[in-house]
Amino acid sequence: MKIPLNEFEIHVDEDILKRGLQYFKKGYVTAVDELSAGEYEATVEGSESYTVHMEVKNGVMNGCYCTCPYDWGPICKHEVAVMFYLQQEELGIASNPQKTAKRTRAKASSVIISTGSEKKPKKKTIQEKVNEILNMLPVDELRGYIGACCDNDKSFRDMFLAKYVYLIQPVSKEMYAKQIQAIVRSAAGKYGFLDYSAARKVGKLVYELSQLAEHKVENSNYREAMYMGCAMLEEMTKAIEHGDDSNGDLGGCIDAAQDILFRVAEECKDKTIRRELFEYGLSNFQKKTFKGWDWHFHLINLSIELIENENDKKLVAACIDSVKPTDKKWDFDYERAQQMKLELIRKTESETEVNKYIEENLTNSDFRRELILTAIREKAYSKAIALAEAGIVADQKDKPGLVDEWKWHLLNIYQQQGNKPKIIEYARYLFLNSGRFRPQEMFDILKKQVENGEWQMFFDRLVADRKSAEKWVRFHTIADMYIWEEQWENLLSWLIDNKSIDNISYVENFIAKNYAEQLVGLYHNAIEDYLAKNISRDHYKTACKYIRRMIKMGGRDEADYLIADLRKLYPQRRALMEELDKV
């Protein structure tokens, strides 16, 4: 979740915002450190101590994580408290560092207070402090310290060996695999699972390894780069199966590993290394090492890149042909195999053979799509129309989404040809039946094509068809049509037939100017119905929010009457009474 730090208040739930501000003002944000440029770590006190990690770049909060168990929303009160801390000067607020029972004086003293009258000197980041100390320490003292850390801290020892063991052992894929295993093992929890924080830690360390591999490629050390890429691909695939990769750190390492292997395939001219990498791709595809992941098929692409002769081509083709079609409606693996086969033909055969293979396998929607787009680009409209119409027939039974796509291509073709009846036919179909394309875009096409004198009758028929096209008519699909046409009276009638808090709110801005009194009355009834069915504080807050809307539209008397009525109906709902007091 990315949030501009100078306006974070508008992106955070109001309750969480208030609680975060309270935590900041009470001085609960302590031990704030800038680990490196824009990367912060803070301790936030509360019922317990929690650690918040936050990344800020160019004034935008790009990611944050708190060790607290809150999972009801994307941002917790501890993270909000840290945002207030980082923005305290701009907001003109200060924390209260007085000692509490929950915090020691030492912790309280670490909070920086802004008076707003003076500019604080920029603190050094943790990384800057570390670099300064390293430059000052004698080498022998540094060696002694690292040795002591290795003796006393197994996690530190594992990390140290993982990063530097290549200096004392012959390089191999197995050596790098052990490095990565040590990194994962040191970060994993009791049961070997990588939580969000551990996954970030592992991702950062393994990504550093990928940067080293990139450096090896740049220096033509292709064999070592290949070993590193293969080890990363295998070990990070295992890690992602047992980790929380919601931030994409582990997956990013897998992408980096593939980039390294493809760079080796493209740049390395050493036949021995190319042969090893070629066989690595084929053997792991055959063993299904990465089955179920996208990079299972990427290995075939890798081997295709490394083909040297006719025998290589046959070996790759045999692998691809081992993937057989199934009876599944969506046979993704077989379609991917067809795409790999096409890539093989493109690399090793003529354009005639490429086109022949595509024409023979038009059940693959990607192939049909490619031919249609090529035909349109070349203005071969008859061919494009034939392909799209054949696609409609082929996919009518099992793949309605593809049918909509083929009809959308037909609409584009007829627009280029200026065929008005066909444009209306297909735009109307897509407007009424497809959720894949923007309804307003189709509506605008129709309005442009239908003659002005015929438009109102066409519109009324379109509304009726839209109502009958859906088993349960969604309010906004019809409301939008009245809004686009600025038919406010019809919009009000449609709202009266479908009154609910959400529906009233959806159209309020469009008709409040002319129908404020009616909207106030509709809100009154809708709020009563809403509270008859819902009983949580959040629901009460929602109801009160719309009572305030009634007042804003001039319905103060109606709102007071409603509030009095609710107090009589639900005197036992203490939370509701409290929220009504705030109106």
Picking from 323, 357, 391, the residue at the C-terminal end of a domain is 357
Phi-psi region of 98 (alpha: psi -120 to 50; beta: other; left: phi over 0): beta
Q: What is the pLDDT of residue 470?
A: 66
User: DSSP state, 167?
Assistant: G
Residue 442 binned pLDDT confidence (cut-offs 50, 70, 90): very high
Q: What is the model's pLDDT at position 113?
A: 33
Residue-level pLDDT at 49: 85
pLDDT-based confidence at residue 240 (cuts at 50, 70, 90): very high
Instruction: Please determine, for residue 365, whether its predicted confidence score (pLDDT) is greater than 50.
Output: yes
pLDDT (0 to 100) of residue 122: 61
Clarify whether residues 466 and 506 are in a common domain: no
Q: Are 560 and 510 in the same domain? A: yes
**What integer pLDDT is reported at residue 99 of this predicted model?**
46
According to the model, what pLDDT value does residue 120 have? 52
In terms of domains, do 182 and 256 share one? yes
Tell me, yes or no, whether 247 and 292 share the same domain. no
Domain boundary among 253, 268, 283: 268
What integer pLDDT is reported at residue 106 of this predicted model? 35
Say whether both 431 and 452 belong to one domain: yes
133 in a structural domain? no
First-to-final CA distance of the chain: 32
* H/E stretch holding 43: strand 39-44
- Residue 326 pLDDT greater than 70, yes or no: yes
User: What strands, in cross-sheet order, belong to the sheet with 39-44?
Assistant: 3-4, 60-66, 50-57, 39-44, 29-36
Mean pLDDT of the chain: 88
Question: Are 346 and 376 part of one and the same domain?
Answer: no
Burial degree of 319 (CB within 10 A; 0-12, 13-18, 19+): buried
Closest CA to 25 of 47, 45, 54: 45
- Residue 333 included in any domain: yes
Average pLDDT over residues 137-153: 90
Residue 461 in domain = yes
Query: What is residue 53's three-state secondary structure?
Result: strand
Residues 528, 551, single domain; the answer is yes
Could you tell me if residue 478 is inside a domain? no
Please give the average per-residue pLDDT across 380-397, as a whole number.
95
Query: How far is 365 from 428, CA to CA, in rounded Å?
Result: 24
Backbone angles phi, psi at 572, to 5 degrees: -80, -10
Same domain, 258 and 277: no
Q: Give me the pLDDT at residue 101, please.
A: 39
Q: Which pLDDT belongs to residue 36?
A: 81
On whether residue 78 sits in a domain, the answer given is yes
Q: Are residues 499 and 546 in the same domain?
A: yes
pLDDT tens profile 290-306 = 999 999 999 999 999 99
Both 156 and 70 in a single domain?
no
Please count the structural domains in the chain: 5
Residue 50 near residue 68, CB atoms below 8 Å:
yes
- Rounded Cα distance between 340 and 357, Å, is 12
Q: Which two tokens stand for residue 564?
A: 């009095």
Q: How many CA atoms lie within 13 A of 78 on its CB side?
A: 24
Mean pLDDT of 474-478: 91
pLDDT at 105 over 60: no
Q: Looking at the structure, do residues 377 and 468 belong to the same domain, yes or no?
A: yes
| Contact between 38 and 56 (Cβ < 8 Å) | yes
Same domain flag for 437 and 520: no
The pLDDT tens digits for 278-290 are 999 999 999 999 9
Residue 506 lies in a domain: yes
Residue range 233-238: mean pLDDT, rounded? 96
Residue 486 in any domain: the answer is: no
Q: What's the rounded mean pLDDT across residues 45-50?
A: 83
Residue 261 has pLDDT above 60, yes or no: yes
Q: How far apart are CA 566 and CA 539, in angstroms?
A: 14
Answer whether residue 440 is part of any domain: yes
Q: Which domain holds residue 522?
A: 495-581
Q: Of 438, 473, 508, which closes a domain?
A: 473
Q: Look at the chain and count its residues.
A: 583
| Residue 36 β-bridge partners | 39
Sign of CA dihedral 100, 55, 192, 186: negative
